[in-house]
Structure 1
Amino acid sequence: MTAVREAQDALLQRRALRLDAEDPLAQYRDHFIGTDTELSYLDGNSLGRPLKRTADDITAFIHAGWGGRLIRGWDEEWLDMPQAIGDQLGRAVLGAAAGQTIIADSTTVVLYKLIRAALAAVRDPARTEIVLDTDNFPTDRYLVEGIAREEGLTLRWIDADPAAGVTLDQVREAAGPATAVVLLSHVAYRSGFLADLPGITAAVHDAGALMVWDLCHSAGSMEIGLDAAGVDFAAGCTYKYLNGGPGSPAFAYVNARHLPGLAQPIWGWMGRKDAFEMGPGYEATSGIRGFLSGTPAIFGMIAMRGTLDLIEEAGMPALREKSLRLTAYALELHDAWLAPGGVKLATPRAPELRGSHITVDHPSFREVTAALWEKDVIPDFRAPAGIRIGLSPLSTSFTELHRGMAAIRELLPRA
C-alpha cells in the first residue's frame, strides 16, 4: 500500500506542477505579499492576501495625499472615490453600467439600507412577506429578522440544504402574491453552492417582488452580470476576493430603474443633496450617491483599487476558468486523500453549481484546523464539522493547494 500511495502522491504532485505551468494567470500570484513562502493560504474567500502595490499605494497616500494635501484631498479626489471605484467595480466585476454602484459602510449596513429601500419601493400593502433561507449567512438572517420585527412583516423561510443551496424551484414555491422582497446569497457561504442568479431573479419578478442578492462570496471570483439579469439590488464585501483588507468597505448596487425617488433609511450628511451646506432638513442627493451616509473609508478603497486594476487586465472570464480548475483539483485531492479517511464532501460536484470554495466535513476538523494553522496551512473552520477551502484565482496556486490538502490528510485521525 505504501508503494501505491507514493505513486499516487507523485502523480498528484506532478499534476499540480503541470497545472501551474499551464496557468495563464500564474504571473498574477507574484503581485501578492507572502506567495513566495511555503505558507498554504486556503482562506482567500474570508480575507484576501494584500497586494505588494498596496503597501506603496498606502504609503504614498499617507505622505502625498493625507500628509501633503491634507483636507484639500477631499475636494481633489476623496469625495469622488466611492462612486469612481464603484463604477470600476461595476465594470470589471459586477456587469453593471456606471452610476449604479457605490462603495460605503459594512455589508451589514448596506444590506439594511437596500432591504429597507426595497420594501419602501414595493408600495403594496398586501405584500407583507420577506423570503430568505435557513442557511444564509448569519448577518443576512439577523438583519431580516430585525426588519420584520420593526415593520410587522412575516418571514417565509426556504429550508436550504447545507450541503447545497437554494434552488430555483424552491424560490418559485416560496414567492407569491404576499412576497415583497427576496434576499439570497449568490454563493452559499458554507457549501459554496452557486445559485441561479438570472433564473431566480426572473422568478421573483414573475411573482411581483423585488430581489436583493448578497454577493460576498462571488464578487471577484466569477462573472455576475447584474444588469443583464435585471437584478434589483445587490451588496457585497470587498475584503475577500477583492483584497481591500480587514474591514474594508462594502458596496451597494441599485439598478438604475429604481434610483429615481428611491429612499434609503440611514440619512447622513454624505447622502444629502448639498453635503457641505450643513443646513436644516435632509434632501437626498440624486442617483446612487444618495446611498452614502457617513464619511467614506478611504484606506480600504485604495487597497481595493489595485485588485480591480488586475481584474480588468486579466478579465473575469479568465478568473472564473481558473477558479473552476482550482476547485476541480481540490475535489480530485479530496477523493484521493480525504474521502478514504471518512471525510465527506459538502459542496456540489457539478462545476456550474459551485463557486470558488469547497467545504469538506469530518468530526475532527475543529481540532485539525487549529493544528493546520500551527503548520502555516490556513483554511477556516465552519461549525459543526466543516473545513472550508477558499481558492482565490489571482493569488492561489495549484501547488499551494496540493500542499495544504496534503497537510489535512496527514492530520486526519487514523481509523
Structure 2
Amino acid sequence: MSEDTAPQAADAAHAVAAAAARDDFAARAAELDAGDPLSGKRAEFVLDEAVYLDGNSLGALPQAVPERLREVVAHEWGELRIRSWTESGWWTAPERIGDRIAPLLGAAPGQVVVGDSTSVNVFKALVAAVRMADETTGPAAGGPARDEILVDAATFPTDGYIARSAARLTGRTLRPVEAARMPAEVSERTAVALVNHVDYRTGRLNDLPGVTAALHRAGALAVWDLCHSAGALPVGLDAHGVDLAVGCTYKYLNGGPGSPAYLYVRAEHQPRFDSPLPGWNSHADPFGMDPEYVPAAGIERGRVGTPDILSLLALEAALEAWEGVAIEDVRAKSLALTDFFLECVRAYVPRGRVRSVTPEAHHERGSQVALECAGAGEVMGELIRHGVIGDFRHPDVLRFGFTPLYTSFADAERAARTLAEVLAYVPGDGSASAVAAGAQEQGPVMT
C-alpha cells in the first residue's frame, strides 16, 4: 500500500468499525437512561427533538416558569400592585431565593443573596475583600501591605476587566496567575484572589479546597466565580472556608436569560463586609431615607437597589426542579455523561480530527466537554443545523455542556454520531494534519 492510500484505508477501516459500534452504543445509552435516577427530571423542562448541549450558556426552560410568571404579572403586579412588596413577599425575595440556592453551593442559610449581575457582584466581592484584608491581616492589623490582587489568568474576560478596575480603584496591582499556580504564587503581599471554579473554555475544574487553603495560609482571601460549577457539581463553600463567591443563575440553575446573579458572603465576614456599592436596599432602615448610610446586618448588606422582581420570581420557580435532587447524584451523572460522550467520540470520529482539551481525570473536569477542532465554527453551524446544539469558542473549540437534570445518554450518543457525520463532509482549514501536529505539542489526540 502506498503512502498516499494509507490514510484513506485507515479512514475506511475506522468508518466500518464505527458503524459496527453504533448499535452497541445506542443500546448502552438506552440501558444507562433506564437506570438513571434523575431521568424523571427531564419531563420538568421544555424540550424538543433537538439535542440541547448548551446549558452551560443558557439552561432550558423549566415547565414551572411560564405559569408562575403569568400569575406574577396578572395577579401580583396587575391586581395587588404595590401591595405585593409585602403581601406577595417581593421584598424578601433576594434572601429567600438565596437560601434556596445555598444548598447547591454547600452553604448554610443566611449567606447568599440574589440580585444584580455576576459582573456587579464580582466588583462588590473584590473591593470588599480588599478592605477586609486591610482590616484583618494588613497594615490596620499590624501586618504587611496587601498591595496585590491575583486573578485567574484563564478567567472569563469580564472577571479580568472587573478585577483590573477594582485594583485601580483600591490602589492595588493586578497579577494574572494560572489557577494551578496560585498556591505557589500567593504571598504576604496578596490581599485577595479571584478564581474561576471551572474554566469556561476548557471545562477544567480548579482545586477550590487547595487554592482556598493556600490563600488563607498567606493571610489572603478567596473569591470564587461559580458560574460553570453551581448546579453541576458539589461546591462546598462552607466546608472549604471560602470567603466570598459569585455566580450566575441562567446556566445550570436554568433561571432564564439575564436572570439575576448571586453573592455569597461567609457568615463570619458579614459584619466587616463593606460594599463599594451601598444602596438603599442594603441600608439598615431602607425606608427611613437617612442621608447617612448605615449597613444592614447579615447578607442583606450585599443588596444594592430595587430587585428585578420578574426575573427573581422566574428563577424561584425554576429552582423547583431541584426539589428532591441530591447534588452528588447530579455530579455522578455529569461524569458518566461526559465519559460516555468522549467514548462515543473516540469510536465514531476518525483519529486526528478532534482533540479533547477537557481533562480526562474526574477531579479536574466540570460538566462540559471542549473539543479542539479545525474549522470549529463551521462544524458547529452544521451540528446546529442537524439538531445538535452546542457552541463555538474562538478560534477552534467546540463546547458541549451536559446538564444532568435533562440531558440523556441517548443525547450524548446522538451528538457524537452527528459530529462524526458532519466531520465527514466539513474538513475545516488545516484538517487532520494541523490538529494532529498541534496535539503532539499540547496533548494526546483523541482516538
TM-score by length of 2: 0.88
Q: What residue identity is the alignment partner of 1:8?
A: A
Of 156, 166, 174, the match for 1:147: 166
Are the aligned partners of 1:243 and 1:303 in contact in 2 as well (CA < 8 Å)? Answer: no
Could you list the runs of 5+ residues in structure 2 that have no partner in the other structure?
1-12, 140-144, 433-447
Give yes or no for the alignment of 1:115 onto 2:126. yes
Q: Distance in 2 between matches of 1:373 and 1:334?
A: 17
For each residue in 1:296-344, what CA deviation from the matched residue of structure 2 results, as whole angstroms up to 9, or x when unmatched?
A: 1122222222343332411111111111111111211222223625201
Equivalent in the alignment of 1:106 = 117
Q: Distance in 2 between matches of 1:16 and 1:262?
A: 49
Residues 357-376 of structure 1 aligned to structure 2 (within 5 Å): 357-376=368-387
Give yes or no for the alignment of 1:5 onto 2:18. yes
Q: Distance in 2 between matches of 1:152 and 1:314?
A: 45
Q: Displacement, 1:223? A: 1.0
Q: Distance in 1 between matches of 2:74 and 2:299?
A: 31
Are the aligned partners of 1:90 and 1:97 in contact in 2 as well (CA < 8 Å)? Answer: yes
Equivalent in the alignment of 2:148 = 129
Are the aligned partners of 1:381 and 1:387 in contact in 2 as well (CA < 8 Å)? Answer: yes
Q: Displacement, 1:272? A: 1.2
Q: Distance in 1 between matches of 2:57 and 2:420?
A: 22
Give yes or no for the alignment of 1:320 onto 2:320. no
Are the aligned partners of 2:152 and 2:196 in contact in 1 as well (CA < 8 Å)? Answer: no
Q: What residue identity is the alignment partner of 1:151?
A: T
For each residue in 1:269-315, what CA deviation from the matched residue of structure 2 results, as whole angstroms up to 9, or x when unmatched?
A: 11111112223222111111011111111222222223433324111
Of 91, 94, 107, the match for 1:79: 91
Q: Displacement, 1:18? A: 1.4
Equivalent in the alignment of 1:173 = 184
Equivalent in the alignment of 2:35 = 22
Q: SS in structure 2 opposite 1:155?
A: strand
Q: SS in structure 2 opposite 1:229?
A: coil
Q: Displacement, 1:262? A: 1.9
For each residue in 1:123-174, what CA deviation from the matched residue of structure 2 results, as whole angstroms up to 9, or x when unmatched?
A: 125111111122111111111111222223112221x4xxxxx32xx11211
Are the aligned partners of 1:117 and 1:264 in contact in 2 as well (CA < 8 Å)? Answer: yes
Give yes or no for the alignment of 1:271 onto 2:290. no
Are the aligned partners of 2:204 and 2:364 in contact in 1 as well (CA < 8 Å)? Answer: yes
- Total equivalences in the alignment: 404
For each residue in 1:2-56, what CA deviation from the matched residue of structure 2 results, as whole angstroms up to 9, or x when unmatched?
A: 543321111111121111111111110011001xx32011101110001111111
Q: SS in structure 1 opposite 2:349?
A: helix
Q: Distance in 2 between matches of 1:39 and 1:262?
A: 45
Give yes or no for the alignment of 1:210 onto 2:210. no
Equivalent in the alignment of 1:156 = 175
Q: Cα distance 1:139–1:28, how it changes in 2: closer, same or farther (>3 A)? A: same
Point out the more displaced range, 370-379 or 38-47: 370-379
Equivalent in the alignment of 2:78 = 67
Q: Displacement, 1:57? A: 0.9
Q: SS in structure 2 opposite 1:259?
A: helix
Q: What residue identity is the alignment partner of 2:338?
A: T
Q: Distance in 1 between matches of 2:307 and 2:39?
A: 34
Q: Distance in 2 between matches of 1:402 and 1:191?
A: 21
Equivalent in the alignment of 2:3 = none
Q: What residue identity is the alignment partner of 1:15?
A: R
Equivalent in the alignment of 2:105 = 94
Q: What residue identity is the alignment partner of 1:278?
A: M
Of 127, 147, 157, the match for 1:138: 157
Identity, % of aligned positions: 43
Q: SS in structure 2 opposite 1:54?
A: helix
Q: Displacement, 1:189? A: 0.7
Point out the more displaced range, 275-284 or 386-395: 275-284
Give yes or no for the alignment of 1:332 onto 2:351. no
Q: SS in structure 1 opposite 2:91?
A: helix
Q: Cα distance 1:156–1:339, how it changes in 2: closer, same or farther (>3 A)? A: farther
Q: SS in structure 1 opposite 2:315?
A: helix
Q: What residue identity is the alignment partner of 1:137?
A: F
Q: What residue identity is the alignment partner of 2:125?
A: L
Q: SS in structure 1 opposite 2:46?
A: coil
Q: Distance in 1 between matches of 2:27 and 2:159?
A: 42
Q: Distance in 2 between matches of 1:346 and 1:394?
A: 24
Of structures 1 and 2, the larger Rg is shown by: 2
Q: What residue identity is the alignment partner of 2:291?
A: P
Equivalent in the alignment of 2:436 = none
Equivalent in the alignment of 1:222 = 233
TM-score by length of 1: 0.94
Could you list the runs of 5+ residues in structure 1 that have no partner in the other structure?
161-165
Are the aligned partners of 1:380 and 1:387 in contact in 2 as well (CA < 8 Å)? Answer: yes
Are the aligned partners of 1:156 and 1:174 in contact in 2 as well (CA < 8 Å)? Answer: no
Equivalent in the alignment of 1:356 = 367
Q: Distance in 1 between matches of 2:345 and 2:18?
A: 14
Q: Distance in 1 between matches of 2:272 and 2:21?
A: 62
Q: Distance in 2 between matches of 1:149 and 1:338?
A: 48
Point out the more displaced range, 13-22 or 252-261: 13-22
Q: What residue identity is the alignment partner of 2:49?
A: E
Structure scoring higher RCO (CA < 8 A, sep ≥ 6) equals 1
Equivalent in the alignment of 1:241 = 252
Equivalent in the alignment of 1:190 = 201
**For the aligned residues, what is the CA RMSD?**
1.4
Q: Distance in 1 between matches of 2:102 and 2:186?
A: 28
